Structure formats: C-alpha cells, structure tokens
Amino acid sequence: MKRRINNTQILTTSLAATLVWGFAFASTQAFADDEEARDEADKQDPWVAHRLLPGTWEADIDGRLGQGTGRRQYEFIFNDQFLVGRHASIRLPQELSPEGDYHRELSVYSFDSERKTIVLRQFIVEGYVLQFTCETELLRFVCATERIENGTDMAARMTVAIESPYRFSEVFELAVPGEEMEVYFTNTWTRVPSLED
C-alpha cells in the first residue's frame, strides 16, 4: 500500500528545510561578517604584524660574517606603546670571522601617529644607531633606513615574515651609495617555550 503524502506534510517539510538553510546561511554570513570585522580591525591596528613577537627566540645565525647562534627577547612596554627587542649573538672564530664576534643590539619600535607608520630605532654595540620606517602587512613588515648615526652612509633594509606563532624569518640587506641592496644575513627564529605556560 502506497503511503500518501498530503499537502500539510509537504508544507511542513518545505518550511523545515527553508528554516535549516536560512539558519545555515545566517550562521555562515555572521561568521563571514565577524571575519571581515577582524580583518578590518587588523588593518587598522598598526601593530598587527608585531603582536606575535613578545617572548624569547633563538636562531642559527648565517651571513657575511659567518655562522653563529643568537637569542632575542621582545616585550611591549609603557601601556603597549613601545615594543622593545634585546638581541645577542655569538660567532666563534672561523674563516669569515677570524676573531669571532659577540654582537648585541637594542631595538625600540614606536608608532608615529603623524606619519601613521611604525618607526624602528636600533642601537648597535659598535655605536651605530639605525632609524627605520616600516611598511606593515598582516604577517610581514619591511623596515628601510631613513637615517644612520655615527659613521656610515650605507642604506639598510630588514624584512620580517611571521610564519607562525612559533617561527619567523628575517632578512637583513645593506647597500653602499649607488648600489643595489645585497643580503647581509638571513635568520630563522624559533620561539623558546616558556616554563610558565
């Protein structure tokens, strides 16, 4: 015996399907709207590419002066208005660096509200002070020197790409006047796990 489906059942089934699809579409749209809102907030946050940096990092150093190991610490200070980075690296004596090298630097990032850009000032142990302006994308920033104090007319550029919360790469380039930028060193930094987490 064939089961008869009446108009009420068809109407009920259609209404239920419409409600399910409507809810699914509304949920998808709400998620998309939330994602768009997050993307827009990220675009308006000048620090978006820097927010994953606080913590301690280690790297194998590789560049013009040879190979070594490095360690960095980043932290936001003064109500998150400045990002401070402390760096130390060691190269043991080798062909490219016969006497070895113990390098230190202090980096201070700030936001210039008039120019609407991140400014980086690096204080180098040899006495140089490099001032960069940074172009920031979602997970990448490129900083180019606008001024170098104490003894050099070279230009420098640093590119940082955030690969994950636990890893970022860094390329540092230098150029003498009238020449193209050349890679001075390339490093990949890995986050040191915190014992407090």
Distance CA 123, CA 107 (A): 6
Least confident of 40-49, 142-151, 157-166: 40-49
Instruction: Summarize the confidence of residues 71-80 as an average pLDDT.
Output: 96
73's tokens: 């610490």
- The topology under which CATH files domain 55-191 is Lipocalin (2.40.128)
Instruction: Summarize the confidence of residues 108-122 as an average pLDDT.
Output: 96
What pLDDT is stored for residue 194 in this prediction?
82
pLDDT tens for 45-61 read 889 999 999 999 999 98
Give percent of the chain above pLDDT 90.
55
Amino acid found at 7: N
108's tokens: 């201070």
Phi, psi of 125 (to 5 degrees): -60, -30
Distance CA 123, CA 131 (A): 9
Intra-chain end-to-end CA distance of the chain, in Å: 67
Residues 87 and 70 sit within 8 Å (Cβ to Cβ): yes
Q: Domain boundaries in the chain?
A: 1-44, 55-191
Predicted model pTM: 0.74
Instruction: Summarize the confidence of residues 166-176 as an average pLDDT.
Output: 94
